[in-house]
Amino acid sequence: MNIILLGAPGAGKGTQAEVICDRLNIPTISTGNIIREALKTGTEMGLKAKSFMEAGQLVPDEVVIGIIKERLAKDDCQNGFILDGFPRTIPQAEALDKMGIEINKVIDIEVSDEAIMKRMSGRRVCEKCGASYHVEYKRPAKDGVCDSCAGALVQRKDDHPDTVKARLEVYHNETEPLKDYYDRQGKLSVVEGQDTVESTTALILKAIEA
């Protein structure tokens, strides 16, 4: 099954993608994680993306479309995948259609801007493996240390409040129109983001199985 997770930055797409990926045994593809990795290793693509990402802006379509094309061609995607953070614009969604890849379900996780501001200021991510934590809602066993790989937990530059505001604006202008795009294709399910990860997961799994 080929699934897209839609939602504002901080709506919980990454966390939910990890859970669904385990349940359905299909890989999660996060363009954000791929770009961050490129940034860390200093590739040309990473350098191109850096200023956009740090300002809370979208990386140009042609860059992310290239990333996704390459990633979806790999063997592990043949039985399905979960896209987390792609597409984020109508041209990106059109590019996916043009690649001839059929999307089965699009799950939109709805969370208010106010709740997102609160969530993102407390978010911490593992420097090494990218796993996501929260100082209030999803604490690691040991403060500041990743449960999976013992890497250091840090705040992403783009999770700072001013950047979050900019990212929300970009989301409403550029990404939200995708809800209509997929609704017209009969693929959209809207799920209200709940207070706990588990209850949101339950709603998402129900929507996937429907």
From 87-95, 138-146, 177-185, 198-206, give the range in contact with ligand AMP by CB under 6 A. Answer: 87-95
Is 64 one of the binding residues for ligand AMP (CB under 6 A)? yes
Is residue 71 flagged as an active site residue?
Answer: no
CA 69 from chain centre, in angstroms, equals: 17
DSSP string of 28-64, one letter each residue: EEEHHHHHHHHHHHT-HHHHHHHHHHHTTPPPPHHHH
Min dist. Cβ of residue 77 to ligand AMP (A): 16
Q: For residue 26, what is the DSSP state? A: -
d(CA 77, CA 192): 28
Is 167 one of the binding residues for ligand AMP (CB under 6 A)? yes
Is 8 one of the binding residues for ligand AMP (CB under 6 A)? no
Is residue 123 flagged as an active site residue?
Answer: yes
Q: Which of residues 16 and 31 has its CB atom nearest to ligand AMP in the complex?
A: 31
Cβ contacts of 121 within 8 Å, gap of 6 or more? 159, 161, 164
From 52-60, 96-104, 114-122, 176-184, give the range in contact with ligand AMP by CB under 6 A. Answer: 52-60
Cβ(109)–Cβ(193) below 8 Å: yes
Min dist. Cβ of residue 170 to ligand AMP (A): 7
- Other C-beta atoms closer than 10 Å to the C-beta of 171 total 21
Residue nearest to ligand AMP (CB): 32
Q: Which two tokens stand for residue 78?
A: 């043949």
Catalytic residues: 13, 88, 123, 156, 167
Interacting residues with ligand AMP (CB under 6 A)? 9, 30-32, 35, 52-53, 56-59, 64, 85-88, 92, 158, 167
